[in-house]
Amino acid sequence: ETGVTQSPTHLIKTRGQQVTLRCSSQSGHNTVSWYQQALGQGPQFIFQYYREEENGRGNFPPRFSGLQFPNYSSELNVNALELDDSALYLCASSLGLAGAFQKETQYFGPGTRLLVL
Amino acid sequence: AQSVTQLGSHVSVSEGALVLLRCNYSSSVPPYLFWYVQYPNQGLQLLLKYTSAATLVKGINGFEAEFKKSETSFHLTKPSAHMSDAAEYFCAVSDHQGGKLIFGQGTELSVKP
């Protein structure tokens, strides 16, 4: 069974640029959640995708957007990068069941560390 | 709104000593609670979860946690610390509407030889 994978592992961008982060979910999982973890903080929820549809969004501006593909892999796009976007971005997959998302374990990937200069 | 508070951003114990990491939650509905561990430069690994079955939950690597509704707590314990337990530990509650995880600030565990 393949776990959650993310690419790239590290990325350096400059302010104002755009970035795309990728996530492959664990085999059999249909739900992907993205989190931002700033240095020394707990992860903060960005958004969740269930069967290619957005299924909840945290308190992040619209320049954070996402996609989920038919194979349930996912992308996180961030436009107009700001210095405060520097963080570890974590993707988590789970087997989502409508009405029971809260019970399901989310399995995390290793993360993408983004540095914005 | 649901929330999680982890008491103590840093905990240091000696090898072989009891590990106790504290977590208190706030939730208007029966919560689903999780403990994750994060080793340096890695993602999060699930230690254990509570989903309203037994109040004492056993996890991996000898960790366990007890759900106490009256105290709104879900503290993580391990009887005997090992050097390999040094890591960051996060307590989280699952949002009852959509399943997003709401994390505490984390507790860094150091283990002294």
Q: Minimal Cα distance from B90: which residue of A?
A: A42
- Asked if A101 and B99 come within 8 Å (Cβ–Cβ), the reply is yes
pLDDT at A99: 65
B40 part of contact set with chain A, CB < 8 Å:
no
Long-range contacts of B81-84 (CB under 8 A, 24+ apart): B81/B13, B81/B14, B81/B15, B81/B16, B81/B17, B81/B18, B81/B19, B81/B109, B81/B111, B82/B15, B82/B111, B83/B15, B83/B111, B83/B113
**Of how many residues is chain A composed?**
117
Residue A18 to chain B, least CA–CA distance (Å): 23
Contact with chain A for residue B99, Cβ under 8 A: yes
Closest CB from B42, B49, B102 relative to A105: B49
Q: Closest to A41 (Cβ–Cβ): which among B42, B51, B105?
A: B105
pLDDT digits 0-9 by tens, A49-103: 998 999 899 999 999 999 999 999 999 999 999 999 999 999 999 987 766 677 7
Average pLDDT of span B2-10: 94
Mean pLDDT of all residues in A10-27: 96
CB contact under 8 A, A41 and B106: yes
Average pLDDT over residues A23-44: 93
* pLDDT tens digits along B30-60: 889 999 999 988 889 999 999 877 899 999 9
Chain A residues whose beta carbon lies within 8 Å of the beta carbon of residue B95: 56, 102
Asked if A60 is an interface residue toward chain B (Cβ–Cβ < 8 A), one would say no
Q: What is the pLDDT of residue B99?
A: 77
Q: Read off the tokens for A45.
A: 């929820």
Under an 8 A CB cutoff, do A90 and B95 touch?
no
Judged by a CB distance cut-off of 8 A, whether residue A94 touches chain B is yes
Closest residue to A90, CB basis, from B44, B97, B98: B44
Q: Is A77 helix (H, G, I), strand (E, B) or coil?
A: strand
